[in-house]
Chain A
C-alpha cells in the first residue's frame, strides 16, 4: 500500500508564474489536508478537502491560492502569480475519515522556490 504521494518534489518558478502541486492520498483515503511550512517554522494548516468538496479553506490566502480534490485524480494546490514569499515546503496529508481521531499520513512534501 503506497503512502501519500506528492509531486513534484521540487519546483522552481519565476515570479508571476503558476505553480501546481499534486497530492495522491493513500488508497482508501478520501480526506486530504494541505499544510505550508516556512523555513524554521512549524506546519500551518491551509485547506481541508474531501472528494469534490472543500470543507475548510480558512488557512489558505484568499487571493492567488486555490485547491481542488476531484472525483478522479489527485488533489491539486494551485498558486497563481507566485511571489518570493510563496517559497516554502508544501505538505499534503490524508486520512481515512474526518476528525481528530483518525490518523493523518503525510507525504514527502513539495519544495517550491520562487526566483
Chain B
C-alpha cells in the first residue's frame, strides 16, 4: 500500500533554534517528493521538490534531504522564525499525476518567542 508517514505530528521550538522533520514513504514507483508549507487558513506553498537523483536541496533556511534507498526524507529548518509556524506536509505523488494523492496532516510546527 502506498503510504506517507510524517513525524513528529507536532513540534514546539524556541525562536532561533533548528529543527528537523521526517517523512517516510512507501510509494512506488517513485517520481518525486515535495515538501509544502501550509499556514493556518491558507493554501499549501511548495518549498522543495526532490527527484530520485537528488540527495540534498536547499531553499533559504530550509534544507531537504532524500534517501531513496531507505525511502526517507527530512526537512531541516535553520534559525527558526515565528513565521515558520505552520504545517509542513510531505507529498509523494504517484507516477501518472496528482490524482488520488492525499495530503497528510503533516507536522504542525509552532515557533515561540
- Interface of A with B (CB < 8 Å)? 4, 33, 35, 37, 40-45, 48, 55-56, 58-59, 89, 91, 93, 95, 98-101, 103-109, 111
Contact = CB atoms under 8 A, between A and B. Distances in A.
A44 B102 contact: yes
Interface size grouping (class) on chain B = 20 to 34
Contact of A100 (B98, B102, B104): B98
Contacts of B32: 100-101
A63 to B, nearest CB: 20
Contacts of B98: 33, 45, 48, 93, 95, 100, 104
A106 B97 CA distance: 16
Contacts of B100: 45, 56, 58-59
Contacts of A93: 43, 98
B95 interface: yes
Interface of B: 31-32, 41-46, 49, 89, 93-106
A25 B100 CA distance: 20
Nearest to A106: B43
Nearest to B45: A106
A32 B95 CA distance: 18
A98 B95 CA distance: 11
A107 B101 CA distance: 18
Given A58-B99, A100-B32, A100-B93, A106 B44 contact: yes
With most chain A CB atoms within 10 A of its CB, the pick from B31, B44, B93 is B44
A111 B41 CA distance: 9
